[in-house]
Chain A
């Protein structure tokens, strides 16, 4: 108990609180710049933490990480440009809602669900870190293969009106994801001896190009007169600018479910917030009473993706704190900052540094509270940015997107990719081929292929061959859950069809 109180005191000193505030503000601004990811925001700050007191540097780092995740949803909603890949799923409903004049409502929904998801995963981290980490550590290549394979199958719920176009889009994304070096043999694939392609296609240029540049091109089609107006008009009705208690209450089950899903995915090393957001979005659409509203500005859609991607931020600390295994790049960077301060994370950290651990927990919760208040300020500020006429805003977006794409790898090729994917996305849009399944296929294929091939390798040295996967309890449990879920989906669809026929 004494440790808990000392930990809370450490995290709530005026210096630590100011550090959290600075981290949050910087994170929200950085997150809103297309191309600069949450990991990059943390990476930029890590060197400075070395010169700061541990209880100023680390809360600032945590604040920055949380702030950047919310900041990225602002641009996703207002200009269809996700600040970080994690907010790509927010575009699907946030942007259409903003087009209806309800941009502020969409941003507020994103803020509330972000803070909820964040707090949910932090609470899970505090109370169930050990338990969740032990589940996650049972997941090996066969389980990852099953999980990603199932996710790829579930993408059919995001395919729009035509199933074949959605499928083709997924296949296209998978093929683009295979460009580069083979994960097992390091043989170049689909590179045509072009050196830049050997590094593979970056997710950031692909995301910015397919979502932001293609949308900018579509908007620039409009007659000159229309381009003199701003991209968004904000409704003056109060009801369109707030999230009512009833609206929040109706989305609460989705938020809780998505936060749970995000927490679970965050606890598994290597999956990350982008996958969590898309999976939660698909699941919310599947289980919604009004799935037809998804993609047209559904509050549920925004709530699902935002709560899931933010839930990852807390839970990716689970394997980090419990076993010293970072769940993603941002967690690895945070681990680095701890090492700089002389704290080694892992199973013994709860015995060796209990005060520090409780201080981290307190800092995480304080950062969420501050994020909620600061988020309102950011929403007000960003509202004015999009009042710039389209003919000035879109060239500016293209330039900032180029700078953001360049920043990550310092490669001119990435800027060129941004525009190539912009053109591809525009052509796909004109042919009514959805671009989101392509992005999901691209994100999932490396994890799927690598784990599938490692599973086959493991099988070749086993007496039972590939059938060895059924000797793994984690695989069998996951397999049963997925089979029952699929059967449930099919049954529900059948019932819905029958209901439609009867009506």
Chain B
């Protein structure tokens, strides 16, 4: 699919403007409580810097939009095109879901080592590795190296997960 690069830029600015405005008018007031009677003489309010940065970002975006699309509206006609592949998009979405599942759920539940074994095997298979021996031994070899270097070498204990210690306590 081919999209107009200029249209893409214009949409991006508008989306970022929306995010910036919600940051200024919703996120900051909701998440920062300034102490009472606090001001310049006390070294400024905690919300001062976030507001300042937020307004800087807002003015940068507005300036860019006005400069490119209001003062120079013909710019879109001469813009180059940009290709976009739906196939790549769906592929990357699947990979991101696998990564987030691994980091948010799998490690916490079954522990780092087991989760990583499953993750490497699954992702390598998804990326085109079909040799069973490699799919079986490569993750084991890698996790052994990680185990030896982290747990034995550096005394850093990676997460055990919730299920594994419970199973071990039963047996």
Chain B minimum-CB-distance residue to A26: B153
Chain B minimum-CB-distance residue to A41: B154
Q: Which residues of B contact A228 (CB under 8 A)?
A: 128
Q: Which residues of B contact A187 (CB under 8 A)?
A: 32-35, 46
| Partner among A44, A168, A192, A396 whose Cβ is within 8 Å of the Cβ of B57 | A168
Expressed in whole angstroms, the minimum distance between the Cβ of B117 and any Cβ of chain A is 9
A407 contacts B16, CB within 8 Å? no
Q: Which residues of B contact A416 (CB under 8 A)?
A: 103-104
Is there a chain B Cβ closer than 8 Å to A123's Cβ?
no
Given A189-B32, A396-B142, A449-B49: A456 touches B44 (CB 8 Å cut-off): yes
Q: Which residues of A contact B138 (CB under 8 A)?
A: 392, 396
B95 contacts A220, CB within 8 Å? yes
A164 contacts B35, CB within 8 Å? no
A453 contacts B43, CB within 8 Å? yes
| Partner among B91, B112, B120 whose Cβ is within 8 Å of the Cβ of A403 | B112
Alpha-carbon distance A36/B146, docked complex (angstroms): 13
Alpha-carbon distance A228/B130, docked complex (angstroms): 11
Interface residues of B in 101-155 (CB under 8 A from A): 102-104, 107-108, 112, 116, 119-120, 123-124, 127-129, 134, 138, 142-143, 146, 149-150, 154-155
Q: From B23-31, B73-81, B163-171, give the one contacting chain A.
A: B23-31
A419 contacts B99, CB within 8 Å? yes
Q: From A174-182, A310-318, A468-476, A490-498, give the one contacting chain B.
A: A174-182
Given A220-B92, A395-B123: A164 touches B103 (CB 8 Å cut-off): no
Q: Which residues of B contact A457 (CB under 8 A)?
A: 42-43
Interface residues of A in 95-123 (CB under 8 A from B): none
Q: Which residues of B contact A224 (CB under 8 A)?
A: 127-128
A395 contacts B107, CB within 8 Å? no
Expressed in whole angstroms, the minimum distance between the Cβ of A234 and any Cβ of chain B is 22
B31 contacts A189, CB within 8 Å? yes
Q: Which residues of B contact A406 (CB under 8 A)?
A: 112, 156, 158-159
Q: Which residues of B contact A407 (CB under 8 A)?
A: 150, 154, 156
Is there a chain B Cβ closer than 8 Å to A271's Cβ?
no
Expressed in whole angstroms, the minimum distance between the Cβ of A151 and any Cβ of chain B is 16
| Partner among A164, A192, A456 whose Cβ is within 8 Å of the Cβ of B64 | A164
A460 contacts B150, CB within 8 Å? no
Q: Which residues of B contact A171 (CB under 8 A)?
A: 53-54, 56-57, 60
Alpha-carbon distance A394/B129, docked complex (angstroms): 12
| Partner among B12, B60, B143 whose Cβ is within 8 Å of the Cβ of A167 | B60
B150 contacts A403, CB within 8 Å? yes
Chain A minimum-CB-distance residue to B8: A431
Alpha-carbon distance A171/B61, docked complex (angstroms): 12
Q: Which residues of A contact B155 (CB under 8 A)?
A: 44
Alpha-carbon distance A416/B28, docked complex (angstroms): 24
The 8 A CB mask of A464-482 against B (1 = contact, 0 = none) is 0000000000000000000
Is there a chain B Cβ closer than 8 Å to A375's Cβ?
no
Alpha-carbon distance A30/B149, docked complex (angstroms): 9
Alpha-carbon distance A148/B102, docked complex (angstroms): 38
Alpha-carbon distance A6/B141, docked complex (angstroms): 48
Alpha-carbon distance A460/B41, docked complex (angstroms): 5
Is there a chain A Cβ closer than 8 Å to B71's Cβ?
no
Chain B minimum-CB-distance residue to A171: B57
Q: Which residues of B contact A392 (CB under 8 A)?
A: 120, 124, 129, 134, 138
Is there a chain A Cβ closer than 8 Å to B4's Cβ?
no
Residue of B49, B50, B88 with most partner-chain A CB within 10 A: B49
Q: Which residues of B contact A190 (CB under 8 A)?
A: 27-28, 31-32, 50
Alpha-carbon distance A33/B42, docked complex (angstroms): 43
Alpha-carbon distance A213/B156, docked complex (angstroms): 22
Is there a chain B Cβ closer than 8 Å to A227's Cβ?
yes
Is there a chain A Cβ closer than 8 Å to B22's Cβ?
no
Expressed in whole angstroms, the minimum distance between the Cβ of B94 and any Cβ of chain A is 10
A168 contacts B120, CB within 8 Å? no
Residue of A415, A418, A456 with most partner-chain B CB within 10 A: A415
Q: Which residues of B contact A399 (CB under 8 A)?
A: 116, 119-120, 142-143, 146
Expressed in whole angstroms, the minimum distance between the Cβ of A482 and any Cβ of chain B is 20
B146 contacts A391, CB within 8 Å? no
The 8 A CB mask of A401-434 against B (1 = contact, 0 = none) is 0110011001010011011001100100001000
Q: Which residues of A contact B149 (CB under 8 A)?
A: 33
Is there a chain B Cβ closer than 8 Å to A443's Cβ?
no
Is there a chain B Cβ closer than 8 Å to A500's Cβ?
no
Alpha-carbon distance A191/B30, docked complex (angstroms): 10
B159 contacts A189, CB within 8 Å? no
Is there a chain A Cβ closer than 8 Å to B14's Cβ?
no
Alpha-carbon distance A228/B149, docked complex (angstroms): 28
A175 contacts B108, CB within 8 Å? no
Is there a chain B Cβ closer than 8 Å to A285's Cβ?
no
The 8 A CB mask of A303-332 against B (1 = contact, 0 = none) is 000000000000000000000000000000
Q: List residues of A whose CB falls within 8 A of some B CB.
A: 30, 33, 36, 44, 164, 167-168, 171-172, 174-175, 178, 182, 184-185, 187-192, 213, 217, 220-221, 224-225, 227-228, 389-392, 394-396, 398-400, 402-403, 406-407, 410, 412, 415-416, 418-419, 422-423, 426, 431, 445, 449, 453-454, 456-457, 460
Complex A-B: 10 CB contacts under 8 Å: A185-B38, A221-B91, A396-B120, A399-B116, A403-B146, A406-B159, A419-B99, A419-B102, A456-B40, A460-B41
With A168-B57, A457-B43 already in contact, 17 other A-B pairs whose C-beta atoms are closer than 8 Å: A171-B57, A178-B50, A185-B38, A189-B31, A190-B27, A190-B50, A191-B31, A227-B128, A392-B134, A396-B138, A410-B156, A412-B108, A415-B107, A419-B102, A423-B100, A431-B12, A460-B40
